[in-house]
């Protein structure tokens, strides 16, 4: 598969998964945490699907399109491992982590801290969506929508 095809599949998977989980998150209290604002496309999508919901976005640096920049109080810059740790206990309804790099060794390092951090950020019953695996005893894997190939994107519920 070419990188272009892989990219298209990733974006399609993101949209289909976010649409699926937002229907459930809409009925749940708690903010949304966007780990990896990037260009802001998925932030923009979440903002459209969950109008009025607080969405806190994290990144090393601001590089989002002007239409997709959170309010200053909801933009947190720095290394996510450190910055998001300050939000432990916030009882998020949804944590969306799009910080995979496509490099196995780098993503393996992320997998050493992201699952535990995600579990601590979520409320019980809250949902995590991630491009890298979230293996953790408090994160129960959920099936992706039928359009998403297995092990392409990961959906979990905080138990």
Give min distance, CB of 147 to ligand SAM, in A.
18
Minimum CB distance to ligand SAM, residue 76 (Å): 9
Phi, psi of 102 (to 5 degrees): 85, -5
Q: Which of residues 71-100 bind ligand SAM (CB under 6 A)?
A: 79-81, 98-99
Closer CB to ligand SAM, 65 or 140, in the complex: 65
Residue 145 interacting with ligand SAM (CB under 6 A): no
> Applying CB under 6 A, which part among 18-26, 55-63, 117-125, 151-159 lies near ligand SAM?
55-63
Supply the minimum distance, in Å, between the C-beta of residue 12 and ligand SAM: 13
Handedness of CA 39, 45, 46, 51 (dihedral sign): positive
According to CB under 6 A, which residues from 15 to 54 bind ligand SAM? Answer: 36, 38-42
The distance of closest approach from Cβ of residue 124 to ligand SAM in the complex, given in angstroms and rounded to an integer, is 26
Q: Give the count of beta carbons closer than 10 Å to the beta carbon of residue 53.
A: 18
Extract the tokens encoding 108.
Answer: 């393996």
Name which of 118, 123, 113 is nearest 159 in CA terms. 123
The total of other beta-carbon atoms located within 10 Å of residue 67's CB is: 10
Strands (E), the chain: 32-35, 55-59, 75-77, 92-97, 122-130, 139-142, 154-158
Positions that interact with ligand SAM (CB under 6 A): 36, 38-42, 59-60, 63, 79-81, 98-99
């Amino acid at each position: 598969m070419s990188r272009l095809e892989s990219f298209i599949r990733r974006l399609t998977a993101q949209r289909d998964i976010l649409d699926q989980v937002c229907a459930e998150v809409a009925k749940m209290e708690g903010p949304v945490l966007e780990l990896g604002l990037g260009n802001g496309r998925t932030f923009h999508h979440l903002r459209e699907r969950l109008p009025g919901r607080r969405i806190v976005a994290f990144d090393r640096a601001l590089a989002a399109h002007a239409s997709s920049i959170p309010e200053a109080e909801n933009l947190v810059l720095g290394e996510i491992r450190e910055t998001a740790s300050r939000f432990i206990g916030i009882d998020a309804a949804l944590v969306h982590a799009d910080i995979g790099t496509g490099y196995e060794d780098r993503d393996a390092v992320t997998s050493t801290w992201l699952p535990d951090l995600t579990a601590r950020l979520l409320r019980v019953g809250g949902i995590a969506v991630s491009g890298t695996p979230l293996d953790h005893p408090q994160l129960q894997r959920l099936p992706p929508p039928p359009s998403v190939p297995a092990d392409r994107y990961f959906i979990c519920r905080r138990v």
